Structure 1
Amino acid sequence: MKIRRQLLSASLVPVLLIHLAAAVLPDGRFHGNIVRPPGVPRVTLADPDAPVVSRNGTQLPPYSTTYLFDQLIDHNNPSLGTFKQRFWHTYEFYEPGGPIILFSPGEQNADGFSGYLTNATFNGQLAQQQNGSTIVLEHRFYGLSNPRPDLSVDSLKFHTLQQAIDDLVYFANTVNLPMPNGDQLTPDKAPWVLVGGSYTGALTSWTMVNKPDVFFAGYGSSGVVEAILDFWEYFEPIRLNMPKNCSADVHAVISHVDEVFTSDNATAIQAIKDNFGMGDMTHLDDVAGALRNNLWDWQSLQVTTGPGGQFFKFCDALEVKSGQVAPASGWGLDHALAAWGAYWRSTYLARICGKSTAEDCLGTYNVSQSFWTDTSIDNAGRSWFWIVCNEVGYLQEGAPVGHSSLVTRLVQPDYDLRQCQQMFPGAFPNGVNVQVDRTNELYKGWDVRINRLFFANGIRDPWKDATVSAAGINVPSTAEQPIGLGDGFHCSDLLTSAGNVDATVRAVQVKALASMKSWLATWKPTPIPRGTPAPQSEPAVIEQTVHQHEVKPINAFVKGAGSG
């Protein structure tokens, strides 16, 4: 495994354009040329603001009820005081002796993620099976859970993986949950299960490695446990699982773009820029890098998406001609280049950039844009980029020379690291050195071997090769650290609906539920560790937010329809 890490660090010939130069749109789409963070999918509930009825008939607060917890600003210096960390909670399925199931959506505002309290997700399936209580905890420096009033470099020094791990531990050890006997449910008195997806799937592993004996069991869905700087493999599951004709034509176009853009043929260069509606853009690496947006759409797919997803609309634009579908070899360069360009000019550019110009939306060199200097809170892109630049990398780039690539090789490491310096000029006076080796050394990465930790991954997940199911890594699946691999996408196994549609995803969920049942049967109370703080006072309900949710019937497993 150490050899693989060295190879990954050395193969920095092509590197991703990391541009966060546009905001996240209200519907969750990333606008512009932004590198995709891992991210867990949202869950739409029929009415998150309706009262909840527990299995014994007690009326409980709505899932959307928001609570506050006094979290330490700095776990290395508690004298700095606390900040208000938001969380959501229900004990709909709870019975005395059941587990406390803690989940965080990670690198995004957690408001609207109350679906993860319910059995529309794996969390709720586990609570229903084991008579547990569920919690959604907002991550520090996302949403409204901020230790500091802004996202300046001075503030972000408190934004580290270790502080996030310590948040989870401190919360479990000190929270007084808003439920009967909520001050008697700390990890010494009740079994806590840590659940996460994507980045927080990795955080689950990292927490159990770094702070053992707090969380009795863990579940990491698509957990990106290995920090990787040169993460060209992000596009490999896409290349291997997308329609073959689309893959062939995308490869042909990208190879042509790279060839022309590295030539001296100014006329041909301008023709390609004009073809994609980016004729006024200044930098060719920005233009070529922008085309990755169509590949990033794969990450939003789920087994329930079907052929109507945005990614498949893109492939249809390339591969359907006069009502005929291209063979596996595709239509070839000429048609694919023209069709891809027409799709961008007529539909896609406006979709990702709105009314912004291509240069403002997709260019990365204009540091006068407020994007680079906006330090206001609830700016998930800035908060995540800080972690990217300091501790995890995950730069999504073209494959090494000699390997088929769907993504341009024109962007290089300095291109990405320049953007770290543009966004955080005071943080990197001597250049950017992302500490991926330190992260993997501290938290074990692919080398994790710990009891009662379940990993669930998907074959079609673009993040698969940062998980324990990465190609060529061969992490063993054991009774104490099982690995479930289904034919899912990113975090598919967190969604009950995905298991209802895909038998391989459901098999992963069933395997995980069986493991949890076996492990939790062995739990026994333990003496509280010496020096652990006493529980805090009961958190205050701050609001019952009314959300504008799409109303859909919840699938058959939800709200008591499954076994009780």
Structure 2
Amino acid sequence: MAFLNLFLPFLLASLVCAIAPPAFRPKSGMHKINVDSVEVSHRTSGAKLLPLNTTYYFDQLIDHDNPSLGTFKQRYYFGYHYYEPGGPILLMNVGEQNADGFWTYLTNETITGKLAAEYNGAVVVLEHRFFGESNPYPDLSVKSFRVHTIQQAIDDHEYFVKNVRLPMPGGDQVSGPDKAPWVLFGGSYPGALTSYTMQNKPGLFYAGYASSAVVQAIADYWRYYEPIRQNMAKNCSADVQAVISYMDQVLTSNDSSKIQAFKATFGLEDLTHNDDVASAVSQIIGSWQELTLTAGAGSTWFQFCDALEVKDVKVAGPNGWGLENALAAWGSYYKTTYLSPTCGGATDSKDIAACLDTHDTSNPAWTNTTVNNAGRSWEWLVCTQFGFWQGGAPEDQPTIVSRLVNTAYYQRQCVNYFPEAFSSPPVVFLDALNVNKLYGGWNTTTERLFFLNGIRDPWREATVAADDTTSPGSDLQPHLLGDGYHCSDMLISEGISSPAVLKVQNTVVEYLGTMQPQYTGDPVTTNDGLVS
């Protein structure tokens, strides 16, 4: 089947406490998968290739605005076991996390590997600058972060595509969009980065695959919790809302004895500040993002809701058991199961308080500038460009997290992290607006860009599938919606679990086959079926 004629008519379907203070912001990023074997042979020739977990390094520019500063080593994984001359090069950026283990995206257990197998492609998994081992400078200081921007990451893509010599026979003959069809992939922030790159660098990539792509920068992102509230079990939702409402009443009551009793219910009696208490209790709601369609009863989310809704072997009705039971059950589960692991195994109440206290600026976690500290690197992007602060809903809306957790709570922490950059809490609303203006946000008009989203994804409201978006997609920019969670479509196992996710995955595979790339490369075929 040809890899990529014109588009045919198309029906659109619809961080942890032991390391850093718990800026209550559920993780983003793609799911890792478990694949045992790293051994691989070329599909056609049978030649044994280097293991899939082999690490490669690319000399990337430190500053694309000042190339004279030199280069740094940017890490990547690479697999060409499906590759045939003329096949696409699929580039996936891992985004805001260490790339260790993401070599699994070279396999056909993922959408990148599946597409490579279908269209005789090769796959590159690239580590984002300032994450993992890919660091322009030896620390994560504010001075180093001068080159930690969305635009520098976009420029990394361009420089890599145009200059890399891929470690395969003829690898130097596929560099650049004029020699081979390059397709960019990403999920979550890297999904947004896929859209931003294609908007900013037209023609660099022939096509893009943006899963759960948070393209719309939103500073006050309280809607993160709306898909969770809408899709969680009704009994659990009712009881969670009851406890949250009660907590906010207590913590704002100025009744010290009542406040202390509430804190003791959750093992937080030594935690001084009420907003930290509210954040700590609410934090468990973020475990929803860990879910996949294959998640079982052992997941934190289902354990939590079972603790609230199962009593004496009976399950509560749609209205839950009510506040009294929910408060006691939540407190018991939180203290016995959730709290200590969240704080790196701490059991002493004072150690737990130190773990959860975001007001203590003497905590060395705020000034930990050592490399491979993904939380700090992500916070820089959050504080300077995105916002994405997930807090309680406005007063006129139901909420499943405390309203004491708000943008002011997070903005204060930006000062704790980066006092050299902020003398007072930053206001990133204008920065977020500028990101949307520069890179298109919901309204990008980029063609041959696939957006894939899940109904149950808490990041959905920052994607093109948001309720507020005015862009329905088009035949030239498909918007696909399945019933999955965050980045579900990137895992083949999720398609096995859900016909809706499978339909989304198959649609992309089939649709890419209706496209024909235009490039001038002329790879030479050798006897072993590879290029020279």
Distance 1:391 1:515 in 2: 34
Mapped to 2, the partners of 1:289 and 1:453 lie a distance apart of 37
Partners of 1:33 and 1:361 within 8 A in 2: no
Shift of 1:340: 0.5
* Contact kept in structure 2, 1:21 and 1:34, CA below 8 Å: no
Alignment partner for residue 151 of structure 1, among 137, 140, 148? 140
For residue 339 of structure 1, what is the aligned residue in structure 2? 329
What is the deviation of 1:524? 1.3
Q: Please tell me the residue identity of whatever aligns with 1:376.
A: T
Partner of 1:117: 106
How far is the alpha carbon of 1:430 from its aligned partner? Answer: 5.4
Shifted more, 319-328 versus 344-353: the winner is: 344-353
Aligned 8 A contact 2:17 2:343 in 1: no
1:411 equivalent among 405, 414, 423? 405
Partner of residue 489 from structure 2, selected from 467, 476, 493 = 493
Alignment partners' CA distance in 2, 1:288 and 1:478 = 43
Contact 1:37 1:384 in 2 (8 A): no
Query: Is residue 384 of structure 2 the alignment partner of residue 394 of structure 1?
Result: no
Q: Is 1:127 matched with 2:116?
A: yes
- Post-superposition offset of 1:36: 2.1
Give per-residue Cα distances to partners, 1:225-265, cap 9 Å, x unaligned: 00000000100111011110000000000000001111122
Contact preservation (8 Å) 2:24, 2:279: no
**Equivalent in the alignment of 2:225:** 235
TM-score between both structures, scaled by the size of structure 1: 0.87
Determine the structure 2 residue equivalent to 1:453. 449
- Once the two structures are superposed, what CA deviation does each residue of 1:105-163 show, in whole Å capped at 9, x if it has no partner? 10001011001111110001110111100000000000000000100000011100000
Whole-angstrom CA distance in 1 between matches of 2:54 and 2:291? 29
AA partner of residue 508 (structure 1): V
Partner of 1:464: 460
Length-normalised TM-score, structure 2: 0.92
Cα separation, 2, equivalents of 1:439 and 1:526: 34
Equivalent residues of 2:180, 2:520 under 8 A apart: no
The aligned length equals 501
Q: Quick one: which of 169, 181, 188 aligns to 2:158?
A: 169
Which residue of structure 2 aligns with residue 429 of structure 1?
A: 423
- Secondary structure, aligned partner of 1:157: helix
- Determine if contact 1:249/1:336 at 8 Å carries over to the other structure: yes
User: Is the deviation greater in 122-131 or in 404-413?
Assistant: 404-413
Q: Deviations over 1:260-286 (max 9, x none)?
A: 111122111111000000011100100
| Shift in alpha-carbon separation, 1:364–1:220, aligned structure 2, 3 A | same
Contact 1:459 1:488 in 2 (8 A): yes
Matches within 5 A, 1:23-42: 23=19, 32=22, 34-42=24-32
Structure 2 residue 240 is matched with structure 1 residue 244 = no
Where structure 2 has 5 or more consecutive residues not aligned to the other structure, the ranges are 1-14, 522-532
**1:195 equivalent among 178, 185, 199:** 185
Residues 1:78 and 2:67 are matched in the alignment = yes
Q: Is 2:95 aligned against 1:99?
A: no
CA distance in 2, matches of 1:276, 1:292: 11
Q: 2:434 aligns with which of 435, 438, 442?
A: 438
The structural deviation recorded for 1:513 is: 1.1
For residues 142 and 490 of structure 1, the distance between their equivalents in structure 2, rounded to whole angstroms, comes to 21
Contact 1:88/1:135 (8 A) holds in 2 = yes
8 A contact 1:54–1:60 mirrored in 2: no
Q: Does the 8 A contact of 2:42 with 2:80 survive in 1?
A: no
Aligned-residue sequence identity (percent) comes to 52
Conserved 8 A contact 1:22-1:33: no
Provide, for residues 195-222 of structure 1, a one-character-per-residue CA deviation record: whole Å limited to 9, x for no partner. Answer: 0000000000000000110000000000
Deviation at 1:417, TM superposition (A): 1.1
Pairing partner for 1:306 from 296, 301, 306: 296
* 1:361 pairs with 2:355: yes
d(CA) in 1 for partners of 2:352, 2:240: 21
Query: 5+ unaligned residues in a row in structure 1: which ranges?
Result: 1-18, 25-30, 528-564
Residue identity in the other structure for 2:44: R
Shift of 1:37: 3.4
Amino acid at match of 2:386: V
1:467-517 CA-partner distances (Å, limit 9, x unpaired): 000013242232210011000000000000101111100100011112211
Question: What is the alpha-carbon distance in structure 1 between the residues aligned to residue 45 and residue 475 of structure 2?
Answer: 34
Q: CA deviation at 1:338?
A: 0.7
Equivalent pair of 1:397/1:408 in contact (CA under 8 Å): yes
**2:319 is equivalent to residue 323 of structure 1:** no
CA distances 1:16-49 after superposition (whole Å, capped 9, x unpaired) = xxx875438xxxxxx955412321000211122x
2:147 partner SS? coil
The one-letter code of the counterpart of 1:124 is G
In structure 1, C-alpha distance between the alignment counterparts of 2:420 and 2:359, rounded to whole Å: 18
CA distance in structure 1 between the partners assigned to 2:17 and 2:408 by the alignment: 17
Amino acid at match of 2:72: F
What is the distance in 1 between the residues matched to 2:83 and 2:218?
40
AA of the residue aligned to 1:311:
W
SS where residue 228 of structure 1 aligns?
Answer: coil
What is the CA-CA distance between 1:431 and the residue it aligns to? 4.2
CA distance in 2, matches of 1:354, 1:84: 32
Judge conservation of contact 1:66–1:88 (CA < 8 Å) in 2.
yes
Q: Which amino acid is 2:203 matched to?
A: D
Counterpart selection for 1:517 from 510, 513, 518: 513
2-side partners of 1:54 and 1:368: how far apart? Answer: 56
1:257 is matched with which residue? 247
Q: Following the alignment from structure 1 to structure 2, what is the Cα–Cα distance between the partners of residues 388 and 472? A: 22
